[in-house]
């Protein structure tokens, strides 16, 4: 089994190029099958989740040409089935986008229910309710398969009870070729909502208002070919910004949209870091000990839940006590026990982690409980004194392209090893 071995306590320095946004890619790759012409998607992150969705698309007959590591050409014309098997998508929750895409295009989808990270109960009731509002019948079949079908889909006025990224994107997919117009109220505003809408519009859809809480979709008959480049990954960028902060380093994240990083930049400034924004770069420099602060996760433009574990690691090293309140998911503190084994202090009560900052962490053997928590533990290990081993890195590889390689580019001592022998070699090498 692959694991990371890390020798910490070294400031990270230099610049790192940020890949395309994983969460935008998942929506966009699903949306791409809705045209019967070749669609080229650039800046696709080379991460496991993107490969899973591509293989699911191939599984129903779409033509998928991997032009290079980060570019793919998809043609939905060759699709022969609307049936996505559990085996193909069990690893990713965003397989639900294939329901919206297939239902929107063929008026039928049979898709296995989502898996993904175990960060709390993650229902898709709002997606299904909204498909029904467009006129679909929806059943959950044995084996947890969602079967959605409609004689015709009719535009509707939909008010989401809660702000949901997934439901907002799924409804843009399902409604863009319906008959009549759709209005989505209380829509999510995350950067990747805007990216999926821009992509659909590049294929001929008529979607307005993405990025605000009211999205208006004028139905079109069909979508056409397009070439589109995915936005940079806000969460990957944020993770490297925090890597600079926890190692007291000086790191420039490149090819980013600084506006998308504002909630993270603001917190890092409060914690005493220097943050300098360029046109498409953000530099984070940390000298001396971080200061405590409080964070509360919220839908965009609030502090992203996907940055909560990484920021908690920074706060675990800050002077004073901080409160980390998780208000999006209900089980997102599974990394706390692992952090405690590295010397972190604090306790979780309800949806709040009360973090008592310590001066330093100590290397330990830990396991990644999920994607972002796994990345957070790597950050902790980079800051810690001594060696750490991080197991279950397949979670981290779901969403970070070449994570270890990019960190090595900043001077980190990190390697993937598969045996104690490899680990021993690493220890001898780094001393």
- Residues serving a catalytic function are 117
Q: Phi and psi of 194, rounded to 5°? A: -65, -40
Contacting residue, 10, 58, 122, 289, with ligand UD1 by CB under 6 A: 122
What b/e readout covers 208-228, taking b as 16+ CB neighbours within 10 angstroms? ebbbeeebebebbeebeebeb
Q: Nearer Cβ to ligand UD1, position 127 or 334?
A: 127
CB of 170 to ligand UD1, least distance (A): 9
* Structure letter (DSSP) for residue 60: T
What ranges make up the beta strands (E) of 314-396? 321-325, 345-349, 352-356, 365-367, 387-391
**127 vs 248, which CB is nearer to ligand UD1?**
127
Q: How far apart are CA 411 and CA 339, in angstroms?
A: 23
As measured in angstroms, the least distance from the Cβ of 96 to ligand UD1 is 8
Stretches 55-63, 161-169, 278-286, 383-391: which one binds ligand UD1 (CB under 6 A)?
Answer: 161-169
d(CA 272, CA 289): 8
Q: Taking contact as CB under 6 A, which single stretch among the options 39-47, 124-132, 244-252, 360-368 is the one that binds ligand UD1?
A: 124-132
Question: Measured from the CB atom, is 123 or 143 closer to ligand UD1?
Answer: 123
Candidates 66, 87, 125, 276; binder of ligand UD1 (CB under 6 A) is 125
Contact between 231 and 20 under an 8 Å Cβ cutoff? The reply is: yes
CA distance 290 to 201: 43
Q: Measuring CA to CA, which residue among 114, 196, 126 is closest to residue 164?
A: 126
Which residue from 64, 23, 402, 72 is spatially nearest to 240, judged by alpha carbons? Answer: 402
Phi, psi of 219 (to 5 degrees): -70, 145
- DSSP 8-state secondary structure symbol assigned to residue 113: P
Q: Does 167 bind ligand UD1 (CB under 6 A)?
A: yes
Scan for tokens 């104690």, then name that residue: 420
Q: Mark residues 238-277: x for contact with ligand UD1 by CB under 6 A, - for none.
A: ----------------------------------------
The verdict on 205 binding ligand UD1 (CB under 6 A) reads no
Near ligand UD1 by CB under 6 A: residue from 30, 32, 35, 94: 94
Tokens of 331: 């089980």
- Cα 150 from chain centre: 31
Stretch that binds ligand UD1, among 165-173, 175-183, 282-290, 383-391 (CB under 6 A): 165-173
Helix (H, G, I), strand (E, B) or coil at 285: strand
CB of 187 to ligand UD1, least distance (A): 11
State the DSSP code for 25: H
Query: Where would I find the H helices in 206-344?
Result: 234-246, 262-270, 308-316, 336-341
Choose between 165 and 342: whose C-beta lies nearer to ligand UD1.
165
Nearest-CB residue to ligand UD1?
166
Of residues 304-343, those binding ligand UD1 (CB under 6 A) = 305-306, 328-329
Site string for ligand UD1, 39-78 (x = CB under 6 A): ----------------------------------------
- Burial level of 188, CB count in 10 A (0-12/13-18/19+)? buried
Distance, in Å, from the CA atom of 190 to the CA atom of 165, rounded to the nearest integer, reads 7
Establish if 164 lies at the interface with ligand UD1 (CB under 6 A).
yes
Which window, 61-69, 116-124, 223-231, 307-315, contacts ligand UD1 (CB under 6 A)? Answer: 116-124
Interacting stretch for ligand UD1, rule CB under 6 A, among 158-166, 194-202, 310-318, 339-347?
A: 158-166
Cβ distance to ligand UD1 smaller for residue 135 or 302: 302
Chain residues in the site for ligand UD1 (CB under 6 A): 23, 26, 93-94, 121-127, 162, 164-167, 188, 305-306, 328-329
């Amino acid at each position: 089994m692959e694991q990371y071995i890390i020798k910490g306590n070294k400031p990270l320095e230099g610049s790192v190029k940020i890949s395309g946004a994983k969460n935008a890619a998942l929506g966009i790759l699903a949306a791409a099958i809705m045209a019967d012409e070749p669609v080229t998607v650039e800046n696709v992150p080379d991460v496991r989740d993107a490969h899973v969705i591509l293989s699911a698309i191939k599984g129903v007959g779409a033509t998928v040409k991997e032009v290079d590591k980060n570019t793919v050409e998809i043609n939905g014309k060759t699709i022969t089935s609307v049936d996505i098997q559990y085996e193909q998508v069990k690893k990713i929750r965003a397989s639900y986008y294939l329901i919206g895409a297939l239902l929107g295009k063929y008026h039928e989808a049979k898709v296995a229910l989502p898996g993904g990270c175990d960060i709390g109960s993650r229902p898709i009731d709002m997606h299904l309710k909204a498909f029904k509002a467009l006129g679909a019948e929806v059943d959950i079949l044995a084996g947890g398969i969602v079967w959605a079908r409609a004689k015709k889909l009719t535009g509707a006025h939909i008010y989401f009870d809660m702000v949901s990224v997934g439901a907002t994107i799924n409804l843009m997919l399902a409604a863009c070729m319906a008959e009549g117009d759709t209005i989505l109220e209380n829509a999510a505003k995350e950067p990747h909502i805007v990216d999926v809408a821009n992509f659909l519009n590049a294929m001929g859809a008529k979607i307005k208002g993405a990025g605000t809480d009211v999205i208006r979709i004028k139905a079109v008959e069909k979508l056409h070919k397009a070439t589109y480049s995915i936005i940079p990954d806000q969460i990957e960028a944020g993770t490297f910004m925090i890597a600079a902060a926890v190692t007291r380093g000086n790191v420039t994240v490149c090819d980013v949209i600084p506006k998308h990083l504002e909630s993270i930049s603001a917190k890092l400034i409060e914690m005493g870091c220097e943050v300098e924004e360029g046109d498409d770069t953000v530099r984070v420099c940390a000298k001396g000990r971080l200061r405590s602060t409080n964070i509360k996760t919220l839908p965009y433009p609030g502090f992203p839940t996907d940055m909560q574990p990484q920021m908690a690691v920074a706060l675990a090293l800050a002077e004073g006590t901080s409160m980390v309140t998780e208000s999006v998911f209900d089980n997102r503190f599974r990394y706390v026990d692992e952090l405690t084994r590295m010397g972190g202090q604090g306790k979780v009560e309800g949806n709040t982690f009360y973090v008592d900052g310590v001066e330093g962490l100590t290397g330990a053997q830990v396991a990644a409980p999920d994607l972002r928590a796994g990345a957070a533990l790597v950050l902790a290990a980079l800051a810690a004194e001594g060696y750490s081993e991080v197991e279950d890195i397949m979670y981290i590889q779901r969403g970070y392209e070449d994570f270890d390689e990019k960190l090595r580019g900043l001077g980190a001592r990190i390697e993937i090893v598969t045996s104690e022998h490899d680990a021993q070699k690493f220890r001898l090498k780094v001393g």
